[in-house]
Structure 1
Amino acid sequence: MKVYNDDVDASVSIPNSEYTVTYTDADGVSQTVASGVTNAAGAIVNQTLTDIPSSVNQIKIHYSLGNAERGYVRRSDGRIYQFVFTKSIPNSNLINYTGNTRFGNSSTPESFVSNYIASRINNYYDQAVDFLDDGLQAARQYSPELLTFKSAPIDIYYERGFYLNKGSGFYSNGHDGSGTPDIVLGDRTNVSQFTDHYLMHNVMHEWTHWNMRQTAQLGGGSYTTHYTYNTNFKTSYKEGVALFAGEMFAQNYDLSTFDNEVQTDDSNGINRLYGKSTNRTVQLVLYDLLDEISTDEDENYNISSSILQGQSVTTAQRNQINFGLLYAEMMQSKAKTLSEFLQYIQKKYVTSDTDKANFQQVLTINGLSSTGDFTLDADGNPLSD
C-alpha cells in the first residue's frame, strides 16, 4: 500500500508501521483479527486471518504512521496519523494486493495534503533510522569499542497550518510543555517547499538533536542563521552536528559542491565562516573529517585513515564508515564544542606522522587553531585567549 496526494508517481509506502485488521460482525461491531507491523517496503505479508465468518465480504486495514519502538507521526492535537483501507475478500480468500490510494476527507481538501506529507515524514523517519544504523554497524566492524546505540522513541508532529512558517525544532520539554520530548516539523504556506531534500534533512537534523541530547547531553541555544556568528561556541557545535547529519542523509554523503565554502564565502566582501563560530563552519569542518577526497581544498585527511590502512574499500563504503565513526564519537565523546571534539578525535584517531600533518591541514584551511579553536570574532578580529 502506498499513499499519494495528486501525483500517483510520487506515492510513498508506509514502512515499519503498525496496523490492525478488522471486520464488522452481524451486530455492527468491529472485531480485530490481526495486528502487526508492516515490513521495510510497507507491505503486510504472510498474514493469516482466522475466525472470520463466511458472511463477511470485506476487511478493514487500519494503518498507523510509526511504531512504539521508533515513534509516531502525530497531528497537531496529538492523535497518531491513522488511515483505514477497505478491501473486499475474494472468493479464493487470498488477498494479494498492491496499490496506491489517497487518504482524506473530501469536505476538507487540505486533509489529503496533510496525510500525504505525514506519510512522507514517516517514510523518511524510517529511512533515517536505517541510515544511521547502517553507518554505526559499518564503523563498528573496524572500531569494535564504539558504543551500541539504540535511540529512545520520539514522536514527530506535523499538520497543515501547524507552526506555519516557523521552521522545525526539537523540544526537550515537548512543544506544548508536557515534559515529553518531541519534534515539530513546521508547515509551509507553499507545500512545494516540502521537497525530498527538505524533509530528509529536517527529519535527520531534529532526530540528531534528540540523539545527542540522550548521549552527549548537548543542550539548547538560540541562533539567527547558520551563517551568523554565535558567541556561545556550544551553539555552533550542536547545530553544526545536526546540520552535518541532516545533509549526509539528504545528500547521500555528498557535500562536494559546498566543500570549500569556508575558504570562499563572500558576503559583501566579508567571509562569514573562516575561523568563526558559526553552525555552517562546524558542519563543513565535520565534512572535512568524512570526505576522502576534498574539493578545491588542500586537505587529505579523513577519520578512518589510520584504521583502514591496507583495507580495500570503495568510496561509498568509506563514507558510510566515516559517518558512523563521526556520529558515534560525537555521542561517545560527550564533547560540547568543536574544539573539544577535534581534540578527542586527534588523540584517538590521528596516529601516524602523515595523519598528523593532514589533520593539522584540516584545522589550518578552516581558520582554526592547533587545538581546533575558532580564531576570529564576528568582525574578523583575532580572538584573545
Structure 2
Amino acid sequence: MKKRYLKILLMVVAAFISLSVDLLMSHADSTRNVTIKSLNVKVYDTDASTAVSMPNSEYSISYVDSEGLQQSLTSGETDSEGLITNVELKEVPTTASKLEITYTMGNETRGYIKNLSTDKPYTITFGKSIPEGNVISYKTSARFATSGEANSYTLHYLVARMNYYYNEVVNQTTHDIQVAHATDSSISEFRNQPINLYYERGSFVDVDNGFYRNGHDRSGVADIVLSDHASLSTFTDYYIKHAIAHEWTHWNLVRTANLPSGSYKNHYSYNEQTTTSYKEGGPAFVADMLTHEYSLADVDSEAQNDNYNGVNRLYGKSTIRTVEQVLYDLLDVSSNNENEDYFVSESLLNTADYTNEQISEINFGVLYAQMMQSKAKNLSEFLQYIQEKYVTSDTDKSNFQQVLTLNGLSSTGDFTLDADGNLLTE
C-alpha cells in the first residue's frame, strides 16, 4: 500500500514539474528583453534642419497590451544631448510590437514648461517599433501633433525650443559660475532652485514676459510666464533664449538677494528708484551676454554717445541700460571706442594662460555670482562690493575709477544726474 501511495505521489510531483516547466517555457516564449542602446529624437515644425533635441528631460516608456491598456516599463531622464542610452526593458510581451516614449518638457531640478490652463507640463510622445533583434539604436527628427488640435505641430516645436533653451541657459550659467568658483573660492558653487515656465497659445498675448514672485495665479509659488504673440515669427531662437535668461535671472536675484519689485517704462527711461534700474539692469545684462557671446562691442560706448533728440539718456542717469553698460564694462576684456582697461577678474588671473573667451566666461560667472552673494539692492552697493573684493592694486583702482567716470558715476558708483541732466545733490 505504501509503495502504491509513493508511486502516486511521484507521479503528481513529476506532473507538477512538467507543468511548471511548460509554463516557464510559455512565459519565456511570450516575453523578451528589449535594449535601447541609443535613441535620439529631435523635434521640428516645417524644416528638419532646425530640429531641436530634448536634453535633460524626463521620459517614460510604455507599451499597449493586448487589451488596449497602457503598461509602464520604466522612466528616466535624457542626457545632456537629449539621448536615451543603455536602457534595458525587461519582459516586454512579444505581442507588443511598439514602444511609446513620452518626453516631458523639463525636469524636477530645473522646472517644467507648463500649460497655463491645465497646469501640466507639455509632453511629446514618440512611437518606436521594436526591431527583430530587440535592440534599438535609432536617430530621427520628427513632427508631432495632437489629434484634433490646429497648429499643434507648431506648438510642439515651440515648447520643445523653450525646453531646449531653458536647459541651455541654466547649464551655461552654471558652468560659468563653476569656472569663477575655481578662480575665486569665496564664490559659492551655484545651487539651482527649480521654477516652472508657463506658456499657452492665446494667453498673455503681446504683453511683456514676466517673473511672478507670488505666481501668475497668486498661488504663492513663484513662476515665469512667456507671453504669446499674434505673430509666431516673434519666437526666434534669440527671442526665446533672451526672454528665459532675463526672467530666470529675476528669480535667482529675488531668491538670493531679495531684490524688490518696481515698475518702469523702458530700458532707456529714467527711474527715480535706483533699485529699479539695478534689479532690471542685471537680468538685461545676463540675457544679452548669453545671447551675444559675451559681447556688446557694437554699443560699448553707448552711455557716452547716446543721442535721442539731442539728449543723452544714459550718462550718469538711473536707467536700466546704464546699469547694463557698467556691468559690461566690468566684463569686457578689451574695450571698443572706450578709454577704459579693467575687467573684474583681472587681479585673479594670469591672463596669458587664458583666451579672451575663457576670461569672459569667468568674468560673467563672477558678476552673476556676486549679484547674488552681495545682496546689493542698487548699482552703487554692488560696485562698492566689487571694489572691495577685486580692486586691489593701484593700477586696478585707477582703471576701476575710469569705468565709473566713463559712465558718469561718482567715485562711490552713484548716479550723478537727474532725468533732465542736472547734477544730483547729496
Alignment equivalent of 1:193, drawn from 230, 234, 237: 234
Contact 1:291/1:302 (<8 A) preserved: yes
- Are residue 34 (structure 1) and residue 97 (structure 2) matched? no
Shift of 1:199: 1.1
Look up the match of 2:84.
44
Q: Deviations over 1:99-121 (max 9, x none)?
A: 11112236433222222111111
- Counterpart CA distance in 2 for 1:258 and 1:278 is 16
Shift of 1:144: 0.7
Shift of 1:311: 5.2
Look up the match of 2:209.
168
- Are residue 56 (structure 1) and residue 96 (structure 2) matched? yes
Please tell me the residue identity of whatever aligns with 1:26.
S
Name the TM-score, length of structure 2 as normaliser. 0.89
Please tell me the residue identity of whatever aligns with 1:16.
N
Shift of 1:252: 1.4
Shift of 1:147: 1.5
Please tell me the residue identity of whatever aligns with 1:47.
V
Contact 1:118/1:159 (<8 A) preserved: no
- Counterpart CA distance in 2 for 1:204 and 1:246 is 5
Q: Deviations over 1:222-267 (max 9, x none)?
A: 1010110011100100100000111111111011111111111111
Shift of 1:149: 2.3
- Are residue 314 (structure 1) and residue 340 (structure 2) matched? no
Alignment of 1:1-385 (within 5 A): 1-77=41-117, 78-105=119-146, 107-309=148-350, 312-385=353-426
Q: Deviations over 1:154-206 (max 9, x none)?
A: 00011221211012110000011111100011111111111121111111110
Q: Deviations over 1:74-96 (max 9, x none)?
A: 01211110111111111111111
Contact 1:375/1:382 (<8 A) preserved: yes
Contact 1:110/1:160 (<8 A) preserved: no
- Counterpart CA distance in 2 for 1:83 and 1:195 is 21
- Give the match's secondary structure for 1:306: helix
Shift of 1:25: 1.2
The count of residues paired between Structure 1 and Structure 2 equals 385
Report the aligned-residue RMSD: 1.0
Contact 2:178/2:190 (<8 A) preserved: no
Name the TM-score, length of structure 1 as normaliser. 0.98
Q: Deviations over 1:113-166 (max 9, x none)?
A: 222111111001101111111111111111011112212100001122121101
More displaced 10-residue stretch of structure 1: 282-291 or 114-123: 114-123
- Counterpart CA distance in 1 for 2:205 and 2:152 is 16
- Counterpart CA distance in 2 for 1:235 and 1:368 is 17
Please tell me the residue identity of whatever aligns with 1:76.
L
Higher strand content, 1 or 2 = 2
- Counterpart CA distance in 1 for 2:43 and 2:327 is 36
Q: Deviations over 1:315-350 (max 9, x none)?
A: 011001101111111110000000000001111110
Question: What is the aligned-residue identity percentage?
Answer: 51
- Counterpart CA distance in 2 for 1:284 and 1:291 is 10
Please tell me the residue identity of whatever aligns with 1:260.
S
Shift of 1:310: 6.0
Please tell me the residue identity of whatever aligns with 2:83.
A
Give ranges in structure 1 of 5+ residues lacking alignment.
Answer: none
Contact 2:306/2:314 (<8 A) preserved: yes
Please tell me the residue identity of whatever aligns with 1:33.
L
- Give the match's secondary structure for 2:83: coil
Shift of 1:360: 0.3
- Counterpart CA distance in 2 for 1:129 and 1:62 is 23
Please tell me the residue identity of whatever aligns with 1:353.
D
- Counterpart CA distance in 1 for 2:130 and 2:208 is 45
